[in-house]
Amino acid sequence: MAFLGISEFKHFVGVVEDRFDPQKLGRLRVRVLGVHTSDKNKIATADLPWASVVLPTTAAGISGLGQSPSFIVEGAWVWGYFRDGDSLMQEMVIVGTLPGKPAELGNTDSGFYDPNFRLDADGQPTTISVYPKEMAEPDTNRLAVNDPEKPHSSLGARATNRFINQNIPTADFDEVGSNIAASDTDNWSQPAITYNAVYPYNHVFESESGHIKEYDDSFTVDEDGIRTNHYRIYERHSSGTSYEIDTAGNRIDLNMASYFNITNKDNKHYIKGNSDVTIDGRHKVYINKSGIENNNYDIQVGPNANVNIQVDNGNLNVVTKTGQFNFDVGSDFNCNVGGNYNLNVQGSETKTVEGTTTHNTTGSTTIRGSTIDLNP
């Protein structure tokens, strides 16, 4: 074989028609302009030679390390060279892709198009290729182009799923007596979407099913020369589950399904501002599942603040199965019972009052005991 680049070095331009490499090396079948006919009856897609792909240094050059396989789909135009020159033109190497602006949709019956077909409204196969998805527009991702006449399909879903102006309620305590003050009754919503991409600064990755990553370095300059940054980071699963770091640096998470988090060691949170949690369903906390001694559940509230618990329509139950129930009150202890007050003590009751005791009742008072001693 002649030395590459000195003799018999032949470039090619072609269209990818197959990426399902049986050896899973990331090779692609390519139909080459000027070499292969578009007539599939003469050269079928399955008869095209496999082409190796030159990958960047971040790709899996060995042992699966890095990104793999290459992200080139059927219907893409590619450029490369034949390692075996004019003699055989079978050993192909793809150097890169050639994005453009497709003038028409693909035809699965013809070569130089994506052979994979679309389905019609009745679920029946057509002769229209899957790729390109659109014609008369650049192969550049719509999120990078940001044409208001041709918005990316995910933008509408983002606006629908984002909790903007939803007024999610926080805990709102009724004022009970003089010792429980009403809490902050503000509602909250997620921040508005700050997408305002400017070509060519929004760097987008999108997969076939609609998984998306955006690293947006966009900015605008007004007529007075004042620059406004629109920097964002956005990552989205095709289901709609996503997270965004918006222009202000806020992180907005959205889970369209359940959220599972397992931490094998410690989990620490430090919130310098306020924290609001609103739950439509139930809430359970299980402490010390392992049963290790002194794995306590501690709550400490700093000075000049209250601990408020309100049950709108239900019971407040506290159970200690084997231990004690201790109250240590530094000031007054006030108890207001709207119904009956029942106290069942299976052992003895001892009450020590250092001051006076006043017992007022509007009804009768009954005291029963085997022995009743008054000032013994």
Task: Kindly report the CATH number assigned to the domain that includes residue 70.
Answer: 2.40.50.260
Apex 25 CA angle, 37 and 28, nearest 5: 15
Which amino acid belongs to residue 98? L
**116 and 170: one domain?**
no
Whether 198 and 172 map to the same domain: the answer is yes
- State whether 125 and 196 are in the same domain: no
- List per-block mean pLDDT (blocks of 10 residues) for the chain, which spans 376 residues: 58 96 95 96 96 87 82 95 84 94 95 95 95 93 96 93 84 58 66 95 95 97 96 97 96 95 95 92 91 89 88 90 90 90 92 92 90 84
Model pLDDT, residue 8: 64
The answer to whether 227 touches 220, Cβ cutoff 8 Å, is yes
Q: Take residue 326 and report the two structure tokens written for it.
A: 């201790």
DSSP 107-139: BTTSSSS--PEEE-TTS-EEEEESSSSSSSS-S
Record the tokens describing residue 290, joined without a space: 């392992």
Do 14 and 125 have their domain in common?
yes
Assign residue 238 the CATH number of its domain. 3.10.450.190
Q: Residue 144 belongs to what H/E stretch?
A: helix 142-145
| Residue 179, domain extent | 142-254
Q: Is 11 exposed, middle or buried (0-12, 13-18, 19+ CB in 10 A)?
A: exposed
Query: In this structure, are 108 and 146 located in the same domain?
Result: no
Residue 331 lies in a domain: no
Total domain count, the chain:
2
Residue ending a domain, among 221, 237, 254, is: 254
| Domain-ending residue, one of 237, 254, 271 | 254
The identity of residue 157, as a single letter, is A
The pLDDT of residue 175 is 59
pLDDT confidence of residue 305? 86
